[in-house]
Each structure stands twice: as C-alpha cells, then as structure tokens.
C-alpha cells in the first residue's frame, strides 16, 4: 500500500465523514472517520518523519474526538453539537489589525540585524510609503531564512508595525488540518481576505512561519498537500497580475531549512534574505538588552558582558533571552526561600553576578548547529536575493 494511496484515501474518507456529519447521518460519519483514522495512522507508522507528520497526528486526534462525541450521541448519552460547517477566515488564520496587536515592537526594538532591516525597508517599507516611485510595481514575495531563534518572526511583526499593516499569521499545520483536508480552500480564503484589505489601500502582510513544511518539493507531497501547493502557486502568481502587482500586499515566509523548498516557490519569493546568527559583539548587545530589563529590581553593575558573549558562540537570540529569564527565575527562587522581597533588600543583598549566568549557560546547549551554517552560506550564495 503506497504512501500516496494511504493519504489520498484517508482524506477521501474524511470528506465523506464530514458530509455525513453535516447531514446528520452520524453512524456513517463514525464509520468514515474511523476509516480515515486507520489509514492516516498506517501512514504515520510507515513514514514517521514526514514533513507533515505532526499535522496528520493533529487530524487524527480531531477525528477521534469527533467520533467520541458522535458515539455518545448515538448511544443517547449526550446531545450532539451542531454539524460542522464551513470554516471562516478567523478559524483558519490569525488576522491581526494594527490596533489589535499586543506586540508593538518596531525595528528600533530589535537588536542589530541592520542589513536585514535595510533589505526589508527596500523591499516593503519604501514601496508602501512612496508607491508613486515604483511604476513597475515591487516584489511581493519575501523569504526570511536562517537558523532557528534568530528573529525571523520578530522581524515580520516589526515590519508589520513599521507600516501599520494588517498581519495575517498563517500556520501550515492549521492550513492543513482545519476542516479535514480542505487545504486548498483555506489557502484561497487567506489570499481573498488579504486582497480585500489591500484593495482598500491597507498594507497587508501574510506571514507564513515554517514555510518549508507548506511548500516542500513536489516529490514529497501526497493527496491534499498537492492541491494546497498548487493553489498557493496560483495565488502567488496572481499577485503579479496587472490588477494586483501594485497592491500593498506581501507574502513573507520564514524557514530554517530553505534547501527543502521547491525551486518553483523559491523563484516566487523574489527577495530571499538571510537572517544570520549573532556574532560576539551582537551577543554582548543582546545580553545588555535583556539584562537591562531587570535593572529596576536587581543590581546589574558587576556583570561581565564580554565574558558572557564569549561563552555563547552558536547561541541564538532566543537562547540568550531564555538564559536571562532562567537566571531571573533562579534568583527569584533563592529570594523567596530566604523570605526577601523588599526592593531595597534585593538590590543591596542580592545583586546579579556573572557567575549566575555562567551556571545557566553551562547547563544549556546552543540551539544553532554549526554544521548548518555552511549550508546556509551555500544556499545564500546560490539563491540569495536581498
């Protein structure tokens, strides 16, 4: 039994299950849900490392939960909820308008990454602010690639804040799992909603994290994944049409593994920008930045930032933020154990020290694999376009 057959047939049974569920034929729905569960479970057993394994596990759990509810209803022990219907855009993605975002960071709030910020200004901010200077239109697909934890998501949020853009946050897992495999419909809903906003001259950023799991090479795709992938191609190509090419609409994808992307999608992301790991000086600035947030509670005057930067080669900005938070937690625990909580006692009796940080660093391994850095360099040399 082939991988293609297992997923195709599993999704086919899932569609039948939903149709029966909507029609109130709950016994048939249970039968079809269970058939889908069986086929997708066999697929995961044979191909546990599939790029969308977690998505299919999530689907299976949703089906099992629905079967449990339906079985109780059929037995007369519970009342059934309303039949499942069409997903709205809010079910599929997170639409964050400027005034509703809790994260208000802009580029000035992000440590370093100056070259990346400049590339994003050139690609997005300047065209939005001065569209009259771009009679030929502008690039609407931007790919941010680099090691995990180095700020790709924060850059996308800050970029949206810089131009007061509507941010449509797309999770590949949600696109694939919502409404039982109707992934291509979900992709269309995302772009339809984005065009609706952009047609009102509101800048829009569709942000897709872990875009590699959504747009993997064709040979690795099965069933609904192919239809979803083809719909994404159609929508990306549609941005280049005469009526859309000057819309303030941008698709920003982020990936830790750019080499897994299909070449067709690489070309549709006309701007491909490397988000590098922090060097020693930047790591020092990151420690200064995050430790500085503790200065109102703790004395931080005796910390050797150069030492901390030296000890954290291959640590990402996210790693450094976690180290500082862990030190805070350790010291807070110590103070609680001693019954000290008055601000004057804390600053005078328990300053933060370099050793506090070293102890945490010794127990925490870096998240950046050095062997990947050469791969990023090679990919940038081949495909980089900022």
Q: Measuring CA to CA, which residue among 316, 320, 333 is closest to residue 361?
A: 320
Residue 164: partners with Cβ closer than 8 Å, 6 or more residues away: 98, 203
User: Which range among 49-53, 122-126, 129-133, 201-205 shows the weakest confidence by mean pLDDT?
Assistant: 49-53
What confidence tier does 143 reach under pLDDT thresholds 50, 70, 90?
Answer: very high
**187-201, 306-320, 337-351, 354-368: least confident range:** 337-351
For the domain spanning 3-75, the CATH number is 1.20.58.80
The Cβ of residue 222 has, within 10 Å, a number of other Cβ atoms equal to 19
Residue 223 pLDDT: 52
In this structure, of 36-50, 153-167, 280-294, 329-343, the range with the lowest mean pLDDT score is 36-50
| pLDDT on residue 92 | 57
State residue 315's pLDDT score.
97
Rounded CA-CA distance 61/45 in Å is 15
The CATH architecture assigned to 91-277+376-383 reads 3-Layer(aba) Sandwich (3.40)
And the tokens for 333? 């625990």
> Taking the domain 280-367, which CATH number applies?
1.10.8.60
Confidence of residue 285 (pLDDT cuts 50, 70, 90): very high
What is the per-residue pLDDT for 348?
83
Mean pLDDT of the chain: 87
Question: Taking 60 as the threshold, does the pLDDT of residue 150 lie above it?
Answer: yes
Asked if residue 306 has pLDDT above 60, the reply is yes
Mean pLDDT of 216-224: 52
Q: Where are the domains of the chain?
A: 3-75, 91-277+376-383, 280-367
Q: What is the pLDDT of residues 255-280, one digit of tens each?
A: 999 998 888 889 999 999 999 999 99
Q: Indicate if the pLDDT at residue 183 is higher than 90.
A: no
In order, the DSSP letters of 79-137 are PPPPPP-PPPHHHHSEEE-GGG-S----GGGS-S-HHHHHHHIIIIIHHHH-GGG-TT-
pLDDT band for 110, please (50, 70, 90 cuts). very high
Is 60 exceeded by the pLDDT of residue 91? no
Three-class SS state of 163: coil
Task: Pick 258 or 340 by higher pLDDT.
Answer: 258
Phi, then psi, of 26 in degrees rounded to 5:
-70, -30
Question: What pLDDT shows up at residue 177?
Answer: 55
- Pair of tokens at residue 366: 């870096």
Residue 221 has pLDDT above 70, yes or no: no
Cα–chain center distance at 249: 19
CA distance 49 to 217: 15
Residue 139 above 80 pLDDT?
yes
Looking at per-residue pLDDT, the higher value among 48 and 254 belongs to: 254
Provide mean pLDDT across the span 126-137.
Answer: 95
Tokens of 71: 């079985």
Mean pLDDT of 16-38: 87
pLDDT beyond 80 at 181: no
């Amino acid at each position: 039994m082939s991988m293609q057959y297992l997923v195709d047939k599993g999704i086919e049974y899932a569609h039948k299950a939903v149709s029966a569920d909507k029609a109130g034929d709950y016994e048939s729905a249970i039968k079809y849900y269970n058939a889908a569960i069986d086929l997708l479970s066999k697929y995961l057993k044979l191909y546990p490392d599939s790029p969308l394994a977690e998505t299919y596990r999530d689907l299976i759990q949703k089906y099992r939960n629905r079967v449990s509810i339906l079985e109780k209803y059929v037995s007369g022990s519970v009342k059934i909820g309303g039949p499942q219907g069409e997903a709205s855009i809010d079910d599929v993605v997170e639409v964050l308008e400027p005034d509703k975002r809790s994260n208000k960071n802009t580029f000035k709030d992000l440590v370093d990454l100056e070259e990346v910020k400049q590339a994003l200004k050139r690609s997005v901010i300047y065209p939005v602010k001065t569209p009259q200077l771009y009679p030929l239109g502008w690039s609407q697909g931007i790919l941010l690639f680099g090691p995990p934890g180095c700020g790709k998501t924060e850059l996308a949020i800050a970029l949206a804040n810089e131009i007061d853009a509507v941010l449509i946050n797309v999770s590949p897992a949600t696109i694939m799992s919502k409404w039982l495999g109707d992934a291509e419909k979900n992709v269309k809903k995302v772009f339809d909603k984005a065009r609706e906003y952009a047609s009102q001259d509101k800048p829009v950023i569709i942000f897709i994290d872990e875009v590699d799991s959504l747009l993997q090479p064709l040979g690795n795709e099965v069933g609904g994944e192919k239809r979803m992938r083809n719909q994404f191609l159609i929508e990306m190509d549609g941005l280049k049409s005469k009526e859309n090419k000057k819309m303030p609409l941008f698709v920003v994808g982020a990936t830790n593994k750019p080499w897994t992307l299909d070449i067709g999608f690489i070309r549709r992301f006309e701007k491909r920008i490397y988000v590098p790991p922090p060097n020693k000086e930047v790591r020092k600035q990151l420690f200064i930045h995050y430790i500085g947030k503790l200065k109102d509670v703790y004395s931080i005057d005796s910390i050797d930032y150069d030492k901390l930067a030296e000890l954290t080669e291959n640590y990402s900005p996210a790693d450094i933020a976690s180290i500082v938070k862990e030190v805070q937690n350790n010291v807070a625990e110590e103070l609680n154990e001693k019954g000290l909580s008055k601000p004057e006692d804390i600053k005078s009796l328990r300053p933060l020290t370099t050793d506090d940080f070293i102890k945490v660093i010794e127990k925490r391994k870096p998240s950046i694999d050095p062997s990947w850095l050469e791969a990023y360099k090679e990919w940038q040399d081949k495909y980089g376009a900022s």
